């Protein structure tokens, strides 16, 4: 476990949860992963460089926003251009970040990189090991 002390998981939207081309294809196993997190009492959070409202809109389109989801914007970068987390309530301090550009984030906790989800692809398995980690 990271030093963040939290249990929430924070997901990037574009290229991580949703495809980069249309923004309307939910990555396979995303719903199962979010459900498994909630079943363990872990808040599911989403954040995007498009802003918190954008993240909420996009995730509503694909039906994941119903899952007690909170959204945040990527708004601040450090001196090396890496995204910094916004101010978060204690319950939303993430234990794990999941992102298709993990090198673009600065965070002392665990960061899991996934390959970019480029376009609709029912065979994508990037979330399988994460789901396995929660349900094994
Ligand atoms: Mg991304």
pLDDT at 67: 61
Q: How many angstroms separate the alpha carbon of residue 14 from the centre of ligand 1?
A: 4
Contacts of 136 (CB under 8 A, 6+ apart): none
Angle at 90 between CA 80 and CA 133, to 5 degrees: 80
pLDDT tens digit string along 34-84? 989 988 989 999 999 999 999 988 888 777 766 667 899 999 999 999 999
The yes-or-no verdict on residue 33 having pLDDT over 70 is yes
Q: How many angstroms separate the alpha carbon of residue 73 from the centre of ligand 1?
A: 12
Q: How many angstroms separate the alpha carbon of residue 89 from the centre of ligand 1?
A: 23
Q: How many angstroms separate the alpha carbon of residue 135 from the centre of ligand 1?
A: 25
Q: How many angstroms separate the alpha carbon of residue 15 from the centre of ligand 1?
A: 4
List the domain boundaries for the chain.
Answer: 8-88+97-135
Q: How many angstroms separate the alpha carbon of residue 17 from the centre of ligand 1?
A: 8
Whether domain 8-88+97-135 has CATH 3.90.950.10: the reply is: no
pTM of the model: 0.92
User: What is the DSSP annotation of 62-129?
Assistant: TT-TTTT-EEEE--EE-TTS-EEPPP--GGG-EEEEEES-GGGB--SSEEEE-----S--TT--TTHH
pLDDT at 1: 43
Is residue 55 within 8 A of residue 13, CB to CB? The reply is yes
pLDDT tens digit string along 91-115? 899 999 999 999 999 998 999 999 9
Look at strands 76-77 and 83-84 and give their pairing: antiparallel
């Amino acid at each position: 476990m990271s030093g963040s002390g939290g249990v929430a998981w924070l997901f990037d939207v574009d290229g991580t949860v949703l495809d980069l081309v249309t923004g309307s294809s939910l990555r396979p196993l995303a719903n199962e992963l979010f459900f498994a997190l909630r079943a363990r009492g872990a808040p599911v959070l989403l954040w995007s460089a498009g802003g918190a409202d954008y993240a909420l809109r996009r995730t509503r389109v694909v039906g994941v926003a119903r899952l007690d989801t909170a959204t945040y914007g990527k708004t601040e970068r450090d001196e090396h251009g890496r995204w910094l987390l916004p101010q978060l309530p204690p319950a939303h301090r993430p234990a794990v970040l999941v992102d298709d550009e993990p090198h673009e984030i600065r965070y002392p906790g665990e960061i899991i990189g996934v390959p970019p989800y480029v376009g609709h692809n029912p065979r994508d398995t990037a979330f399988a090991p994460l789901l396995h980690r929660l349900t094994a």
